[in-house]
Amino acid sequence: DIQMTQSPSSVSASVGDRVTINCRASQEISTWLAWYQQKPGKAPKLLIYTASSLQSGVPSRFSGSGTGTDFTLTISSLQPEDFATYYCQQANSFPFTFGPGTKVDIK
């Protein structure tokens, strides 16, 4: 199975800050990588697919990059509604594993 790791596990930030979350796969997955946002008590929401494609309806302050084993989610200017937990997920081979999550909270 492909193992996914994320760093940091949590980040404290202020509105307007630039936030970067990293995700690493244990083996090469090309660009088969998705990012999700989850708020407490809610289902996750797809933000980015194939590493850098923005899902319809997602604000352009979210962007993704990377290929191979190393990937990044960037929020260019953090908004109040962005405080949440973010997960990466590899879509290369089953089981489609998720990273452990990165919690973004208010500084």
Residues lying near another protein in the complex (CB under 8 A) are found at 1, 32, 34, 36, 43-46, 49-50, 55, 87, 89, 91-92, 94-101
Residue 4 and residue 22 in contact, taking contact as beta carbons nearer than 8 Å: no
What separation in angstroms does the CA of 93 have from each of 1, 14, 25, 73, 78?
8, 37, 12, 21, 32
For another protein, the closer CB: 61 or 103: 103
- Is the Cβ–Cβ distance between 29 and 43 less than 8 Å? no
Question: Minimum distance between the CB of residue 90 and another protein, rounded to whole angstroms?
Answer: 9
Closer residue to another protein (CB): 44 or 82: 44
CB of 28 vs another protein, minimal distance in Å = 16
